[in-house]
Structure 1
Amino acid sequence: MSKLNPLTTHREFSGLPGAISITLFLPLVLVFFALVTNENYSIKGINLQLQPILDQVPSNLDQLIDLCFDRECWVAYLAWFFGLVIVDQIIPGKQLQGIELRDGSKLNYKINGKLMSLTLIVVLVSRLYTSNDYYLPELQFLYDNQLKLTIVITIFSFLLSFFVYFISFIPLSYENGLGTRERILSVNGNAKNPIYDWFIGRELNPRIGNWDIKLFCELKPGLLLWFLINLSCIQHQYQIHGQVSDSLVLANVLQAFYLFDGVLNEEGVLSMIDITTDGFGFMLCFGDLAWVPWSYSLQSRYLSLSDNYYTLGYFKCSLIIGTSILGYYIFSQSNNQKSEFKQGKLNHLKSIPTKTGSKLLCDGWWKLSQHTNYFGDWLIGWSWCLPTGFQTPLTYFYVIYFGTLLVHRQRRDEAKCSAKYGDAWIEYQKQVPYKIIPYIY
């Protein structure tokens, strides 16, 4: 067994059964979202009109092929994805190194999220300025083809995940051409089970030349598409009503701030578990490219329906904005405090020494709970859902899903820290017993 790539012993999501279930179930969830976010969806949500939804389900092979392989939608998405790849290569950026890998090397990353975002905004503003009546047919195409594009991007995610899985078996060539070296695999993706390794991600950092596929998919095609989907909802509502509701504007603004904050702080992603630990397989590929844009935009897609024009008023808007500000403050301040502590700037804060030489921070924000930043992030998610009111539980799917995801992350981190820090982690849990929500969980 390779010392560089040890065999995976722990399997996430209950191993193979979980991998298969998630692979089959989550794409169906996105298809369901696309079916119910249409003009036949009941405004009350509880009285869901099933028959109009079932009428949209393809009843024969020809209709299914049309949904899955619509030429216009495939051309549009391939142009979007690979167009961003080209722009990503052309636009300059800051060169940063990632963490040290198991072979002692460090990968170079080009950080250009700010210029990428600015380029997209300039293109949109230019198109809007030159358009008739501030109407963009590209956004209308996006709105009118939600179901087909959902399926197209899901299929593309499957194809890309197979591609990165197969290239993980091809040895890397030395730059001088004198030999080859072993690829660095994910600690979670070397279980020797093809289906599980494909799902969880076999290779840690799949690349073509200097282009890092995982970092690109993490922040650019999915997040920016989410932004465009939300804009298409605003345009659609304006075309119907001649104005845009404050609820839809608020949902758009809050989500745009969050997603652009992620893109603009691209270098922070280099230290996240997605980049440092997880391989790039179907789970991340589908999550980045399909799940994020089509599930995170659910609130805007619901509010854009003609029967769901919903006005909040100043008071409710203020409360929702306050929730978002509070969540973002907790999220950013706690993360900044931990970052500064790791840099040795806050040595006066209480901490627990470990056998590895590092310290576990248990003061400031981090005496409130083990993952105070998760709590802030969850509050931000609530501010996205609240603009839809309480007409349907559907639009609160995100906070339920995200809360479940955060609990899974917390348990995953706890298992890793327990094995790494031993007695120090036991003492840490005594001093900081709450997991995510201060004084509750």
Structure 2
Amino acid sequence: MSKLNPVTTHREFSGLPGAIGITIGLPSLIIFFALVSNEAYSVQGINLDFQAILSQLPQSSQEWIDLVFDKTVWAAYLVWFFVLVALDFVLPGKHMKGTTLRDGTQLDYKINGLAMSSTLIAVLLARFYQTENGYLPELSFIYDNQMKLTLVTTVFSFLLAVFVYVISFVPLVKPNAHGTRERILSINGNTGNPIYDWFIGRELNPRIGSWDIKLFCELRPGLLLWFLINLSCLHNQYHKYGQVTDSVILINVLQGFYVFDGVLNEEGLLSMIDITTDGFGFMLSFGDLAWLPWVYSFQARYLSLPENTLTLGRGNVAIIVGIMALGYYIFHSSNKQKSDFRQGKLEHLQLESIQTTTGSRLLCDGWWGASQHINYLGDWLIGWAWCLPTGFQTPLTYFYVVYFGTLLVHRQTRDEAKCRAKYGKQWEEYEEKVPYKIIPYVY
């Protein structure tokens, strides 16, 4: 057994059955969302016409091949992905060190979210002024090929997961700090079961040279595609129906703000569990490239259809913006407080904390005296602000807050187990001082 890469004994998601179930289930779910939010069929209320839904699917193997492997759509997506890869190399940015790894080293990351997002906006504005009446064929292409793009991103994420799994067995070109050519594997993805390790992610930080595949996928192709999908819905509503409703505008503004806030603050991702702990396998590959753009854009796609047109009015818009602002304030302020505390910037406030045997301190004051993950509450409120513009026409448009709430509870459970093992009695003391997990006085 390698000292650098111990064998994984604990399995997430109930092990292999859960991995197989998620690998089949989640792609099926985003295909379902595409089938119930298009020009041919849109869900109404709680009733689903399964005959009408299933009739949209191909009836022969050749039709399936034509749908999944449309050459034009594949070419468009590959150009999108690899142009972003090229821009990641050539655009300027600052270099930062990541978390200290098990071999004592720190990886170098290039942070250029500002340059990347500015380039995308500049291209969109240039195209807008070049075309007649602001009609962008690129946005129409995205809107008209939602199902095909859903399938392309799913297949591509599958292939990328295979690629990073295979290269995790290839020795490093240069010896690491231990004098070996071992790659650093994920603590969760070294079980020896190829299917489970492929799913959860065998290597912690798969790279090609200095280019980090995991960080790129977290904040580039899927996140920015989400922004373009939303924009395509607004674009389609205006050019096809001659109007843009305030609900579609609001969704674009709120989610666009979130997208670019995430890209501009990408350095914060270097300390998050996705980068520091989780391997990069199908779970993250699919989540970043397919799940994120197609699940998170569901509200915009639903509202863009003529039968779902919804005008909110100024009062409702103000309430929803207020919920978004409150969620963002909690999320941003709490994360900043913890970051400033770790950097010693808040010593003058004498915030209450618990000294641990590891040398770190557990903050249990300010925002972090309200709950153990108060930032999760802020993030969840933001999700509500994205769903409320759809009104109460169907519960399906509220899938995101249910899914995201479940995800946050799962993250909290994982973090709690890790901290209990790491801090021991100090964690028990912390739980006595801060008993609530996410929502103060509730959970």
Same fold (TM over 0.5): yes
Decide which of 377, 380, 383 is 2:382's aligned counterpart. 380
User: Which residue of structure 2 lines up, in the alignment, with residue 191 of structure 1?
Assistant: 191
User: Which residue of structure 2 lines up, in the alignment, with residue 268 of structure 1?
Assistant: 268
Report if the CA contact (8 A) 2:36-2:43 is conserved: no
| Aligned positions of 1:104-143 closer than 5 A | 104-143=104-143
Cα distance in 1 for residues equivalent to 2:180 and 2:375: 42
Cα distance in 2 for residues equivalent to 1:382 and 1:221: 24
Pairwise CA distance, 1:358: 1.1
TM-score (norm 2): 0.97
- Cα distance change on mapping 1:238 and 1:315 into 2, 3 Å: same
Deviation string, structure 1 residues 323-368 (Cα, Å, up to 9, x no partner): 0000000000100111111112223101111121211111100111
Q: Structure 1 segments of 4 or more deviating over 6 A?
A: none
| Aligned positions of 1:6-25 closer than 5 A | 6-25=6-25
Report if the CA contact (8 A) 2:380-2:405 is conserved: yes
Cα distance in 2 for residues equivalent to 1:108 and 1:414: 29
Cα distance in 2 for residues equivalent to 1:81 and 1:45: 37
The secondary structure found in structure 2 opposite 1:56 is coil
Percent identity over the alignment is 70
Cα distance in 2 for residues equivalent to 1:40 and 1:51: 13
User: Which residue of structure 2 lines up, in the alignment, with residue 205 of structure 1?
Assistant: 205
Report if the CA contact (8 A) 1:240-1:306 is conserved: no
| Aligned positions of 1:290-301 closer than 5 A | 290-301=290-301
User: Which residue of structure 2 lines up, in the alignment, with residue 220 of structure 1?
Assistant: 220
User: Which residue of structure 2 lines up, in the alignment, with residue 247 of structure 1?
Assistant: 247
CA RMSD of aligned residues (A): 1.2
The secondary structure found in structure 2 opposite 1:380 is helix
Pairwise CA distance, 1:180: 5.8
The secondary structure found in structure 1 opposite 2:388 is helix
User: Which residue of structure 1 lines up, in the alignment, with residue 400 of structure 2?
Assistant: 398
User: Which residue of structure 2 lines up, in the alignment, with residue 309 of structure 1?
Assistant: 309
2:258 pairs with 1:258: yes
Cα distance in 2 for residues equivalent to 1:264 and 1:422: 36
Deviation string, structure 1 residues 18-77 (Cα, Å, up to 9, x no partner): 111100100000000111111343463323333322111111101110111111110010
The secondary structure found in structure 2 opposite 1:110 is strand
User: Which residue of structure 1 lines up, in the alignment, with residue 345 of structure 2?
Assistant: 345
Cα distance in 2 for residues equivalent to 1:399 and 1:154: 22
Alignment-mate amino acid for residue 123 of structure 1? V
The secondary structure found in structure 2 opposite 1:181 is coil
| Aligned positions of 1:86-165 closer than 5 A | 86-165=86-165
Cα distance in 1 for residues equivalent to 2:413 and 2:100: 25
Report if the CA contact (8 A) 2:373-2:412 is conserved: yes
TM-score (norm 1): 0.98
Decide which of 356, 359, 362 is 2:364's aligned counterpart. 362
The secondary structure found in structure 2 opposite 1:95 is strand
Tell me whether 179-188 or 219-228 shows the greater mean CA deviation: 179-188
User: Which residue of structure 2 lines up, in the alignment, with residue 430 of structure 1?
Assistant: 432
Pairwise CA distance, 1:175: 8.0
Deviation string, structure 1 residues 355-411 (Cα, Å, up to 9, x no partner): 212111111001111100000000000000000000001110100000000000000
Alignment-mate amino acid for residue 404 of structure 1? T
Alignment-mate amino acid for residue 223 of structure 1? L
Cα distance in 2 for residues equivalent to 1:32 and 1:433: 39
User: Which residue of structure 2 lines up, in the alignment, with residue 72 of structure 1?
Assistant: 72
Pairwise CA distance, 1:430: 1.1
Cα distance in 2 for residues equivalent to 1:79 and 1:209: 21
Cα distance in 2 for residues equivalent to 1:210 and 1:354: 35
Report if the CA contact (8 A) 1:98-1:271 is conserved: yes
- Cα distance change on mapping 1:355 and 1:180 into 2, 3 Å: closer
Unpaired stretches in structure 2, ≥5 consecutive residues: none
Report if the CA contact (8 A) 2:37-2:43 is conserved: no
Alignment-mate amino acid for residue 21 of structure 1? G
Cα distance in 2 for residues equivalent to 1:16 and 1:407: 21
The secondary structure found in structure 1 opposite 2:165 is helix
Report if the CA contact (8 A) 1:41-1:49 is conserved: no
User: Which residue of structure 1 lines up, in the alignment, with residue 441 of structure 2?
Assistant: 439
Unpaired stretches in structure 1, ≥5 consecutive residues: none
2:391 pairs with 1:389: yes
The secondary structure found in structure 2 opposite 1:190 is coil
The secondary structure found in structure 1 opposite 2:98 is strand
Tell me whether 196-205 or 237-246 shows the greater mean CA deviation: 237-246
Report if the CA contact (8 A) 2:42-2:302 is conserved: no
Alignment-mate amino acid for residue 418 of structure 1? R
Report if the CA contact (8 A) 1:43-1:391 is conserved: no
Alignment-mate amino acid for residue 147 of structure 2? L
Report if the CA contact (8 A) 1:40-1:49 is conserved: no
Pairwise CA distance, 1:167: 0.3
Report if the CA contact (8 A) 1:97-1:109 is conserved: yes
Cα distance in 2 for residues equivalent to 1:44 and 1:152: 27
Cα distance in 1 for residues equivalent to 2:440 and 2:298: 29
Tell me whether 342-351 or 380-389 shows the greater mean CA deviation: 342-351
Deviation string, structure 1 residues 247-287 (Cα, Å, up to 9, x no partner): 01001100000011000011111111111111100000000
Q: What count of residue pairs does the alignment treat as equivalent?
A: 439
| Aligned positions of 1:311-326 closer than 5 A | 311-326=311-326
2:72 pairs with 1:85: no
Decide which of 401, 409, 412 is 1:410's aligned counterpart. 412
Alignment-mate amino acid for residue 401 of structure 2? V
The secondary structure found in structure 2 opposite 1:357 is coil
